[in-house]
Structure 1
């Protein structure tokens, strides 16, 4: 098994490490992962604050907006008075259109490689993020495509395929149907959009403890420390066959660790210390963003970011949706019951998530 080493946090903790199927996996250290999710949003807000209005107006149009409410309609869970804010965050891996030139492996199209449901309780400081593995088999509800056509419901669909088959609104609807939780906002970050950002800051440094050779993503790294440019960074976040058992469970941690290294590089270089540097970061980040139409401007994003200021990132917890290996296809996972139902019930009711709901058979939980 191979993993990325990242610098320890202030409390001396190190990043979560994945393991192969059949072995016991270390439990993800959700608090630090949650901290970096919020810091990612804070980086954008701070970068915008450091620019002049003419710079601001020049990048405000970078953000793409999706009218989720119109696409889904009324077939949605009820918005409960105590439900706080629920945000679906997708890390997509687009390999179509202009991004096709960035593709180095054998996979085409677009996938939602990383999915997090961030739950921010009303009037509280502690938040929770639920990570949904991309290989999870789910029931896709009937959806409306971007062209307006109706796509029939389907069972045993791989979660990450919904994005490419029907679009982001259907991903939101699928998550709402499987969880019973109403999503207030949608934020998508295109991994391919980070290529220019990584190149603009001069690369990102990662350390691996074993050789990684993945013919699918194109990544070829020897054991040790490497400075990755934009193209190799894309190979890195796309890698799955070169680590662990080749499943998605290892890649989730790998992508989180890369984001920590990237944000650490921005901090180390003090790239937000001047308007010119801040503009460069804001320009690249906004070019990689798609949000629901209510957040699709820098002003609205900044307002939303300020509304989160009461949330303490150090107390935020990231929990992987409890999953078990599918009996018919061991290369896929399904939501483990009754753990998954208990997890979503706690999110809906805005109550503390029981420890039993955090245990995942596919990652060594009981």
Structure 2
């Protein structure tokens, strides 16, 4: 039978006022309950079904996330899923607003005295504004996430872990006004254990000469003996591979990213690793990204110039413990070469990477997501497909719990002008093996008992390689800076605390 409309004329005015407020608060706490009690029970039941369905979906996703975190993130990060969530949030906002309006109607505000009617109207409007505003804002955040995923992550081919590891090439692109095109200013391979997230950072100097390419590739045919001086002059170094490929697109028919492709191939040949994906970050925009996350905190062992080289030194980043750096200063800390060497800079860049990994908590990402996403769209380009976003988010969360180890192909072990690539590949394999052994022997889950991998000096290399001297082309500058990366396997934290 249809529900009879209650007669409020026999109720005292204070009771009618309390009833009106109660109906609004019931709609806030449990949408549809006001209709069940005093309005259309059919509408109330439908509202309850919607609420129950949403709660069931949320509980399911929470349980699924606990069981299969990466898969859940992959599903939720898909643009189509995000679009559906955005639409549902907007519909929920409209439906909830309608329930508030109906709750106000069934409270019969015209039967209230003027002041009580005014209070009820203001409360109803405020609740609609807060609830609907929150849901619309949530839909805006979801849309930002969808736009971010669609802009940064593509729908490219998923690459399987190689020998249980994901190898991601991280490139810092320097495309300033004084440069012709983009040229990677830094190149680091993050080799991540696909099960534990334990990470090894492999640093490759930008001035590495004679780099080879995998057999059968266009660059190998063009440079069968490696990227040598005789073929392209003094600029024929690792960081120039990108520029050369972009300038010779005919070698890469149908490839929209020849620079990234050629650089990835060179890194594979140098390290002996299969590179699953690349991430190219524009260093100038990196400042905005760091500002978006609130900067980073580092231990700084020696003062680092701001400026220098082709510009005057404007100041210094002074040494100290737990020094907080905003985007501007963190970028100079990572890029500065004045009064130091490329190898000092490589070490500092690893410190910045490790700091971002350790200090970027989920709460920071959530509270500052819009700023992060806006900055990231401008500075990040990657071959990681959107379908793998959850996998790498999952690995990043695991990696935060473990120390990061490192190998840098730098002097005195590696002479950048005349590199021993077999030795580099052997040292890369050694670094990875030492990292994996920390999990296999059960002593290094937190990196505290089995100690971090020992530094390997040049004396551990075969005698045929340790006696090499730089040729007349060498631009290497020995340095005694404590931040200089050892030519072996080290714990990144120990480098950054030096």
Query: Which residue of structure 2 lines up, in the alignment, with residue 359 of structure 1?
Result: 457
CA shift, 1:252, in A, is: 1.0
Q: Which moved more, 1:119-128 or 1:157-166?
A: 119-128
| Cα deviation 1:182-233 (Å, max 9, x = unaligned) | 2222222221221333455677788785472504266521464898775665
> Unmatched 5+ residue regions in structure 1?
1-43, 71-78
Correspondence list, 1:315-354, <5 A: 315-321=403-409, 323-324=411-412, 332-336=416-420, 339-346=423-430
1:13 matched residue in structure 2: none
SS of the aligned residue for 1:181 comes to coil
How far apart in 2 are the matches of 1:210 and 1:337?
Answer: 33
In the alignment, the residues of structure 2 paired with residue 272 and residue 125 of structure 1 have an alpha-carbon distance, to the nearest angstrom, of 19
Residue in 2 aligned with 1:279? Answer: 370
Q: Is contact 1:59–1:286 with CA below 8 Å preserved after alignment?
A: yes
**Aligned twin of 1:36:** none
- Give the whole-Å Cα distance in 2 for the aligned partners of 1:356 and 1:204: 27
Q: Structure 2 vs 1, CA of residues 219 and 69 (structure 1 numbering), >3 Å: closer, same or farther?
A: farther
Hey, what's the Cα distance between the residues in 2 that align with 1:222 and 1:309?
Answer: 34
Change (3 A) 1:264 1:172: closer
1:251 to 336, 345, 349: 345
Q: What does residue 336 of structure 2 align with?
A: 239
2:244 alignment partner in structure 1: 165
Higher strand fraction (1 or 2): 1
- Name the one with the larger helix percent: 2
Matched, 1:314 2:402: yes
**1: distance between equivalents of 2:240 and 2:157?**
18
CA contact (8 A) 2:168 2:190 kept: yes
Structure 2 segments unaligned to the other structure (5+ residues): 1-72, 83-137, 229-235, 246-258, 439-451, 459-465, 467-477, 479-484, 489-498
Give the aligned partner of residue 87 of structure 1: 167
Tell me which residue corresponds to 1:118: 190
Deviations 1:36-62 (A, max 9, x none): xxxxxxxx99xx899842222232232
1:57 aligns with 2:149: no
The aligned counterpart of 1:194 is 286
- Corresponding residue for residue 289 of structure 1: 380
Q: C-alpha distance in 1, partners of 2:192/2:400? A: 11
Distance 1:322 1:69, change over 3 A: farther
CA distance in 1, matches of 2:227, 2:409: 19
| Aligned 8 A contact 1:219 1:235 in 2 | no
The answer as to whether partners of 1:346 and 1:352 remain within 8 angstroms in 2 is: no
Aligned partners of 2:205 and 2:410 also within 8 Å: no
| Cα deviations by residue, 1:238-272 (Å, 9 ceiling, x for unpaired) | 321x132xx310111233344566778866xx743
Separation of aligned partners in 2, 1:159 and 1:216: 22
Contact 1:339–1:359 (Cα < 8 Å) also in 2: no
Aligned mates of 1:63, 1:352 — CA distance in 2:
35
Distance 1:266 1:220, change over 3 A: farther
Deviates more, 1:302-311 or 1:55-64: 302-311
1:133-282 equivalent positions in 2, closer than 5 A: 133-141=205-213, 143-144=217-218, 151-153=222-224, 154-156=226-228, 157-166=236-245, 167-200=259-292, 209-210=302-303, 212=305, 214-216=308-310, 219-222=313-316, 224=318, 234-240=331-337, 242-244=338-340, 247-259=341-353, 271-272=364-365, 274=367, 277-282=368-373
Residue by residue over 1:287-311, the C-alpha shift from the partner in whole angstroms, topping out at 9 and shown as x without a partner, is: 322222xx233x5323332256555
TM-score of the aligned structures, taking structure 1 as reference length:
0.59
| Partner deviation per Cα, 1:108-151 (whole Å, 9 max, x = no partner) | 43222222223334545543222112122232437558xxxx85
CA contact (8 A) 1:134 1:159 kept: yes
1:301 aligns with 2:389: yes
Q: Which has the higher contact order (CA 8 A, sep 6+)?
A: 1
Q: Distance in 2 between matches of 1:201 and 1:348?
A: 30
3-state SS of paired residue (1:119):
strand
Distance 1:68 1:349, change over 3 A: farther
Task: Confirm or deny: 8 A CA contact 2:288 2:327 kept in the other structure.
Answer: yes
Distance 1:172 1:365, change over 3 A: closer
8 Å Cα contact 1:85/1:184 also seen in 2: no
Q: Distance in 2 between matches of 1:91 and 1:200?
A: 20
